[in-house]
Structure 1
Amino acid sequence: MYVITGANGQTGSAAVRHLLKKGAPVKAIVRKPEQVARWTEAGAEVAVVDLLDTDALAEVFRGANGVYLMNPPAYGELDIFAYSARVHASLIAAAENAAISHVVALSSVGAQHTDGTGNIKTTHDLERRLARSKVPATIVRAANFMENWSWSLKRVASEGILTSMFSPVSRRLPMVSVADIGRVAGEQLLASTEAPPLIELHGPTDYSPNDAAAGLSEFVGRPVQAVVVPTNQWDAIFSETGFSPNAVEAFCEMYRGFNNGHVAFEGRGVTIRGETTLLDAIRNLLDRS
């Protein structure tokens, strides 16, 4: 049995689907009762558990061959770092209490740094806590999600503009699809203790905002131009999405880190490249929008 936390999220759901496709028994952890039917109908067991309930988590983990650990987004929290630290402590304590022999943990490009990475510091905390724990772990540092371009689709069809906080728009950087993150996480769970301790997960190649705009233009039937969002507008944009002031500050710092080159892969561990192209990811985004 393999347990997947955040099963209703982008990477967790992809991990569940991959394992079910491989015929592996899966227990999906969700936060709300209304999310249960989706996975029972797909063939998974389901547990509704609060990730801060360590004892309940340990019971769900007990007897599992492996567990996928990730911290679901909570950008409305007053202090996203304090909240993430509590979730990480609970997840790891539950894995220790359940004597789990192997976990796969979702981390991020840039997580090797202690500062200057904004929201990515939450995954640095997860890595640090796992390193101090008794839980054998495979850390998957994923590139920027291709699917994050969904945040910028609003003006594409109406104005032919793809807004970007990455600058300059011609610069290519690592991007990976959530489908590949879930697949690789599932593969490492099945590999168990044979899996490497650290993976740097890229897409098939690096992509720029201009590449994303070109891909979108193919599907919307009009030219699309990538346009840099001025930094003095970032706060307002994130605030409008419901982010707390703490989360707004964290995301602004993260994008600054990408743009100044601080947020980058370390070049350590095993490098894996995903299969999903940016064009495929954009097609899937538009199909769902």
Structure 2
Amino acid sequence: MSKFVITGAAGNVSKPLTEILLSKGHKVTVVGRNPANLTQLVKQGATAAIGDLADAEFLSRTFKGADGVYLMLPPSWDKPDLKKLGTDLGKVFTTAIRAAQIKNVVFLSSYGAHRLHDAGAISGMGLTEVELNTLEGVNVLHLRAGYFYTNLLLSINLIKEQGIMGNMFNIPAGTFTVVDPNDIAVAAADALIHQNFKGHSFQYVVSDESGTDEIAFVIGREIGIPDLKWVKFPAADLKNVLLKYGFEQGAANDYVEMFTTLDSGLLFEDYVAGGHKASGTSIEQFAKTFAKAYKQI
């Protein structure tokens, strides 16, 4: 039986990851700021640690004695600079890891994390990778995950109100690296349990290679709108929507930059160059999950 610490509370990856580890008999501490969000996992046997990821002293206490730690950056729509945030939290993580003498770390990063300066929020993750790679004598695995399927659920209201899907990008068929969060959880659990990664390395976690037109077609077919289209929105329009939903100006700018670089295809260049392959939940399988959520709203 091993002890693991999982950041991210009960998020799309952290929750299934914690459940996998608990089901295999491991001790798991889940980190979050709101105890209510951890209630379900605590009932399943997890221990809650309530605190802030920016607090190195809190993290070092929480990490102490762990056989492995799973790290991720929290959603930070209220921050002015997501690249700086990635660097700052990376420094906090490394401080806590050194203090707690942790030897194995899994970090949830992203496709495109090799673009350190022109990919907004994703550059922030890449800069966290840079900080974590300063650790000596610590095995660090960066899971470079694809575009989350769950992000597509944000299109449900758009479909219902305007009969379209869309975002600030349009990606050709077979080139969009997409991923089911459950597939990330499986990869993270495997890494933490078997600890078969050494030094500083990264692993792509991609469920399928799709395209935005295909995504709209497959989802449309599943929800009974066979002619559903994907529409590319102007950057200014998307930024106004983000600001309307409470994004800080800087965070909105970083997301616009991220989507601009995504639309250019540059975020996929390292994945393609390395000959990496997709494996896991297909877009056709996720479309069934999407349809269930669509019908419930």
Does the alignment reach a TM-score above 0.5? yes
Q: Deviations over 1:234-279 (max 9, x none)?
A: 2112212211111111111111111112111514779463411223
Q: How does 1:1-289 map to 2 (within 5 A)?
A: 1-134=3-136, 135-167=138-170, 170=173, 172-194=175-197, 197-203=201-207, 205-223=208-226, 224-267=228-271, 271=276, 273-288=278-293
CA-CA distance at 1:151 after TM superposition: 2.0
Provide the aligned C-alpha RMSD in A: 2.2
Partner secondary structure for residue 75 of structure 1? coil
Structure 1 alignment gaps of length 5 or more: none
AA matched with 2:125: T
Q: Is the 8 A contact 2:175 2:268 kept in 1?
A: no
Between 104-113 and 155-164, the greater mean CA deviation after superposition: 155-164
CA-CA distance at 1:158 after TM superposition: 4.2
Between 277-286 and 185-194, the greater mean CA deviation after superposition: 277-286
Between 276-285 and 121-130, the greater mean CA deviation after superposition: 276-285
CA-CA distance at 1:132 after TM superposition: 1.1
AA matched with 1:40: V
**Quick one: distance in 2 between partners of 1:157 and 1:171?**
27
Partner secondary structure for residue 60 of structure 2? helix
1:193–1:217 Cα change, 3 Å = closer
CA-CA distance at 1:32 after TM superposition: 0.8
**Quick one: distance in 1 between partners of 2:279 and 2:43?**
28
Q: Which runs of 4+ in 1 moved over 6 A?
A: none
Partner secondary structure for residue 257 of structure 1? helix
Between 264-273 and 164-173, the greater mean CA deviation after superposition: 264-273
**Quick one: distance in 1 between partners of 2:266 and 2:224?**
36
AA matched with 1:58: S
AA matched with 2:101: A
TM superposition score normalised by structure 2: 0.89
Structure 2 alignment gaps of length 5 or more: none
Q: Deviations over 1:158-197 (max 9, x none)?
A: 4431123222565641111111111111111112154682
For this pair of structures, how many residues does the alignment match?
A: 288
Between 74-83 and 277-286, the greater mean CA deviation after superposition: 277-286
CA-CA distance at 1:215 after TM superposition: 2.5
1:82–1:168 Cα change, 3 Å = closer
Between 236-245 and 19-28, the greater mean CA deviation after superposition: 19-28
CA-CA distance at 1:59 after TM superposition: 1.2
TM superposition score normalised by structure 1: 0.91
Q: Is the 8 A contact 2:81 2:254 kept in 1?
A: no
AA matched with 1:86: D
